[in-house]
Amino acid sequence: MLSTSFCSRITHYEPPRGFLVPKFSTYDGNNDPFDHIMHYRQLMTLDIGNDALLCKVFPASLQGQTLSWFHCLPSNSVDNFRDLSEAFVGQYLCSARHKQNISTLQNIKMKDNESLRKFVKRFGQAVLQIEACSMDAILQIFKRSICPGTPFFESLAKKPPTTMDDLFRRANKYSMLEDDVRAATQQVLVAGRASRNDADRHAKPPDRSKPVDRRQDGPSRPNRPPITPLSVSYEKLLPMIQGLSDFRWPRPLETDPSMRDRSKKCAFHKDHGHTTETCRSLQYLVERLIKAGHLKQYLRSDTGGRDASQHHNSGAPRALVAPKAVINYINGGPSDEEYDSRRKRQKLLRAASIRERINSIRPGLTGEGPRPIDGTIIFPPVDPTRTLQPHRDALILSLEIGDFDVRRILVDPSSSADLVQASVIGHMGHSLAGLENPGRILSGFNGSSTTSLGDIILPVQADPITLNVQFSVVQELSPFNVILGRTWLHYMKVIPSTYHQMVSFLTDEGQTDLYGSQLAARQCYQIAREAVANQEDASPPEPSVTHVQ
């Protein structure tokens, strides 16, 4: 390690007894020199105040041409680590990453049919690539980049965010609302397709066509579709349909603004002249959505079947689409007083429908997308800007499960079962009464056991692969929401690494890396410690034993 580039003070310095040189990711001149200095100082954090040791160990983090550069430094030219690091960065400054200008953010716009969650992720990644700039400027650019008129846009207009953390927290809240609406409409679309296909099979051809009385419409009067009775007002329905792929905002009103009634305002046009309830453009849009199979849950129950048959165009050719799940009608049912009200019967029907849909799903890979393959997985060097080292943290992921973003997912290779907490299932809208195989005993290596409430199959999306996983539902899993064990790991052919805080798997498209959250891991640890402390405080003291002489 001795080099004539050091001054005599550093040359004759002896490292502390027991000191071990850390295992560096050696630098060859092709990467950012600033990142290497940060990586080096991170691994030498315990000796950060020992300037002579920092200088003397630094050559061990170099290789190839960079090591040759160091040995070519003038004799006695290195007197402290600050001068050494400045000379090193100056030599390899051409390899440094160049930050983008803030003007690049202005070119990022929310695309048509792009979800808020995907756009926020894309915008956040772009922010990391720009140079330091005003937070207010970034927030203003973000506000101009999203679609106007959406609930999130109106929320930002009423109360602008003050920090990026506040912005992303509120964006995640509205993203979850958007996901809930999309999931609900997808489930209704599946049921709507199944019922329409069943109606096609049992429909009878008419005996003869009835003559149309053209005198009712007139030669120039457009053919207006009948308005379907709804269970909610158009004003309340509008925010719920904005996340649908078929939703489109209307063109501006063409009438003279001075002739409009200023006392009436339409939320769909965002202008005065008429109310939201009487807006024909919104009524036509709602009718098109109903024809496409959406909004079944908002139809009036007493006219739902009649309206569906009215809007069904039996003469138009349509390709048969296989439903994702089949929810059959239930004939009959309990006749006791427990289900004598209409509300209770509807609750029974919903529970049975969910159970039918769950039973139609089978474990395994879904779709025709990429598949996990065998091969060699290479873990990259630990990024000190992403992973704090050294650490003893568990591996905690956040994944999309059943159209929900679920956090605090523990990756546990020692578990042979995949577990989910009962409260998570309830939040997803599933009933615990519809679970299969209840009452199984789940045992741990430490001899403890718990009773499973039943099994449920849910899709787990680890981009770009979606896997239907059979979970055992347990009442209490705190502080975790989900535990992914060897079943999921082996199906996905995943290699987890708690040291790197990531899981990796291979597809035909290459290696995919999913990173964990050390913050979530330490929060879970803190919650568990506090729970144990509370139990100890709540438990009564052991009674003392008095010996009677």
| Whether residue 315 has pLDDT greater than 60 | no
Q: What integer pLDDT is reported at residue 445 of this predicted model? A: 57
Q: Which residue has the higher pLDDT, 420 or 526?
A: 420
The tokens describing 416, both together, are 């042979």
Question: How sure is the predictor about 446, in pLDDT bands with cuts at 50, 70 and 90?
Answer: low
| Whether residue 316 has pLDDT greater than 50 | no
Highest mean pLDDT among 10-14, 109-113, 188-192, 200-204: 10-14
- Give the mean model confidence (pLDDT) for residues 162-186: 73
Highest mean pLDDT among 231-240, 258-267, 334-343: 258-267
Q: What is the pLDDT of residues 178-190, one digit of tens each?
A: 776 666 555 545 5
Question: How sure is the predictor about 494, in pLDDT bands with cuts at 50, 70 and 90?
Answer: very high
Question: How sure is the predictor about 310, in pLDDT bands with cuts at 50, 70 and 90?
Answer: very low
**CB 101, CB 30: distance < 8 Å:** no
Question: How sure is the predictor about 539, in pLDDT bands with cuts at 50, 70 and 90?
Answer: low
Domain limits, the chain: 8-95, 116-177, 226-314, 396-535
- Give the mean model confidence (pLDDT) for residues 244-250: 81
Q: Is 259 helix (H, G, I), strand (E, B) or coil?
A: helix
- Give the mean model confidence (pLDDT) for residues 168-186: 72
User: H/E/C letters for each residue in 313-372?
Assistant: CCCCCCCCCCCCCCCCCCCCCCCCHHHCCHHHHHHHHHHHHHHHHHHCCCCEECCCCCCC
The tokens describing 538, both together, are 């709540």
| Whether residue 6 has pLDDT greater than 70 | yes
| Whether residue 211 has pLDDT greater than 50 | no
Integer Cα distance of 265 and 275 in angstroms: 5
Q: What is the pLDDT of residues 405-443, one digit of tens each?
A: 899 999 999 888 899 999 898 888 888 877 888 888 887
Q: What integer pLDDT is reported at residue 41 of this predicted model? A: 83
Q: What integer pLDDT is reported at residue 9 of this predicted model? A: 87
With pLDDT > 70 as the criterion, what percentage of the chain qualifies? 71
Q: What integer pLDDT is reported at residue 253 of this predicted model? A: 85
- CA proximity to 458, closest of 398, 402, 397, 399: 402
- Give the mean model confidence (pLDDT) for residues 42-62: 82
Task: Give the mean pLDDT of the chain.
Answer: 75
Integer Cα distance of 419 and 405 in angstroms: 16
Highest mean pLDDT among 299-303, 313-317, 509-513: 509-513
Say what angle helices 234-241 and 280-291 make with each other, to 10 degrees.
60
Q: What is the pLDDT of residues 61-113, one digit of tens each?
A: 998 989 889 888 888 888 888 888 888 888 888 877 666 666 677 778 887 77
Q: Which residue has the higher pLDDT, 192 or 271?
A: 271
- Give the mean model confidence (pLDDT) for residues 471-478: 86
Q: What integer pLDDT is reported at residue 338 of this predicted model? A: 44
| Whether residue 17 has pLDDT greater than 50 | yes
**CB 285, CB 247: distance < 8 Å:** yes
| Whether residue 328 has pLDDT greater than 50 | no
Q: What integer pLDDT is reported at residue 420 of this predicted model? A: 93
Say what angle helices 280-291 and 304-311 make with each other, to 10 degrees.
90
Q: Is 495 helix (H, G, I), strand (E, B) or coil?
A: strand
Question: How sure is the predictor about 498, in pLDDT bands with cuts at 50, 70 and 90?
Answer: very high
Highest mean pLDDT among 42-46, 333-337, 387-391, 468-472: 468-472
Amino acid at 49: G
| Whether residue 317 has pLDDT greater than 60 | no
Alpha-helical (H) ranges within 75-163 are: 81-91, 116-127, 135-145, 151-158
Question: How sure is the predictor about 497, in pLDDT bands with cuts at 50, 70 and 90?
Answer: very high
Evaluate the CA torsion angle 28, 34, 37, 39 in order and state its sign: negative
Q: Is 441 helix (H, G, I), strand (E, B) or coil?
A: strand
| Whether residue 482 has pLDDT greater than 90 | yes
Question: How sure is the predictor about 222, in pLDDT bands with cuts at 50, 70 and 90?
Answer: very low
Q: Which residue has the higher pLDDT, 352 or 529?
A: 529
Q: What integer pLDDT is reported at residue 418 of this predicted model? A: 92
Span between the terminal Cα atoms of the chain, in Å: 76
Q: Which residue has the higher pLDDT, 227 or 542?
A: 227
Q: What integer pLDDT is reported at residue 101 of this predicted model? A: 65
Longest dimension (CA), the chain: 115
396-535 folds as Cathepsin D, subunit A; domain 1 (2.40.70)
With pLDDT > 90 as the criterion, what percentage of the chain qualifies? 9
- Residue holding tokens 């046009």? 269
Q: What integer pLDDT is reported at residue 502 of this predicted model? A: 92
Q: What integer pLDDT is reported at residue 360 of this predicted model? A: 45
| Whether residue 52 has pLDDT greater than 70 | yes
